[in-house]
Copies of this chain bind each other. A is one copy, B any other.
Amino acid sequence: MKIIESDFQAWMGDIQARTEAALARLLPPAHMAPARLHEAMRYATLEGGKRVRPLLAFAAGEVAAASPERLEMASCAVELIHAYSLVHDDLPCMDNDVLRRGKPTVHVEYDEATALLVGDALQSLAFQLLSDQRLADDARVQLDMVRTLALAAGSRGMAGGQQIDLESTGKTLTLPELEVMHIHKTGALIRGAVALGAACGRVDPGQKNALDRYGKAIGLAFQVVDDVLDYDASTSTLGKTAGKDSRQGKPTYVSTLGLARARELAGELRGEALAALECLGERARRLRQLADFIVLRKF
C-alpha cells in the first residue's frame, strides 16, 4: 500500500488547524453566560480528535471547487454533531467512559447534567451554523444541507445507530446486522460530511452519486478499522479506554469476523471507496489519500 505523502500530511495539518480555529471562533466564548456551559462546550470540542469529518468535507469540497470559508462552516457543523455524540455516548447511562482523547470526559470534568446540556447545545449550534451564513449560492441548497445534517444525526442516522448499538450489547450479530448498526452509528455522519462538503460547491448528479458511494464505503471502513484498533491498541496510544467494546460485550467486526478477516474487509472497503472516485479524476486526490489514511492509520 502507498505511503502517505508529506504534502498530504501538510494539507491535513492545515485543515485540522483551520477547523480548530473556526470552532474556537464559532463556539460561544468561555466567559459568556452561562459560563460553565460554554466552557464545557469548548472543553468537549476543542483540541480534540483527528477531525476526520472536516477532512472529508474539505476533500469533497475540492471535487466541488468549494470555497474554504464555506467548507469551514459546514465542517464545524458536522464536527459539533460529532462532538455532541461523544459527550452523550460517554455518559454513565451509555458507555460510562471516563477518558476521551486522553482527557477526563465531560461528565467527569464537569458533571452529568452539564454534560447532557453540552451535548444538547452543541447540536443546536450545529444547525445554527448551517443557517447562519451564505453557505451556498442558492438558499434552497443550504436548506438541503440542514436536511442532510438532520437526517445524518437523527433517529434514522447516528442516534438510531446508537440505539441499535444499545440493543446489541451482549448479543452476537450477523455481518449484515453489524453493518446496519455501523452504517447508522458512524457511517451516516461521515457520509453526511462528504455530502455537505460537496454541497458547499457545485457537483453534477453523477459526481454527487460517486461521492455518496465513497462516503458510504469509507464510513464503514472507518468503523472496521476502529474495531481493529480498539481490539489491539493499548490505552496509552489510543487515548481512550481501549478494548472496552469487546469487554462490554458489544459486537465488533473483530468479534464477528475475527481479526484477520476484519483487516481484509477494511482493505476491501478502501477498494470500494477508491473505485467510486474513478470518474472524478485528479480533483479527488485528497479523498483517495484520506481513504488510505483512514484504513492504514495506526492510532
Give A residues with C-beta under 8 Å from B. Answer: 28, 32-34, 36-38, 41, 84-85, 88, 91, 93-94, 111-114, 116-117, 119-121, 123-125, 127-128, 130-132, 138-140, 142-144, 146-147, 149-151, 153-157, 159-160, 162-164, 166-167, 180
Contacts and interface: CB of A to CB of B under 8 A. Distances in A.
Per CB-CB distance, the 7 closest pairs between chain A and chain B, nearest first, are A139-B139, A124-B154, A128-B150, A93-B112, A121-B155, A131-B146, A131-B147
Contact of A37 (B38, B121, B138, B160): B160
Contacts of A166: 113-114, 117
26 contacts: A32-B156, A34-B164, A36-B163, A36-B167, A37-B159, A37-B160, A38-B155, A88-B120, A114-B166, A117-B163, A117-B166, A119-B120, A120-B153, A124-B155, A125-B154, A125-B155, A127-B127, A127-B146, A128-B146, A128-B150, A130-B146, A132-B147, A138-B139, A139-B142, A139-B143, A143-B143
Contacts of A142: 139, 143
Nearest to A125: B154
A143 B131 contact: yes
Nearest to A153: B124
Given A113-B94, A120-B88, A150 B125 contact: yes
A162 B28 contact: no
Contacts of A149: 127
B36 A120 contact: no
Contact of A114 (B88, B124, B130, B163): B163
Contacts of A125: 150, 154-155
Contacts of A159: 37, 117, 120-121, 124
Contact of A160 (B34, B111, B147, B156): B34
A196 to B, nearest CB: 13
Nearest to A88: B116
Contacts of A114: 163, 166
B34 A155 contact: yes
Nearest to A152: B124
Nearest to A142: B143
A128 B146 CA distance: 7
Contacts of A156: 28, 32
A243 B26 CA distance: 40
Contacts of A140: 139
Given A94-B113, A128-B150, 11 more contacts: A34-B164, A36-B163, A91-B116, A113-B166, A117-B162, A124-B151, A127-B127, A131-B143, A139-B140, A139-B143, A142-B143
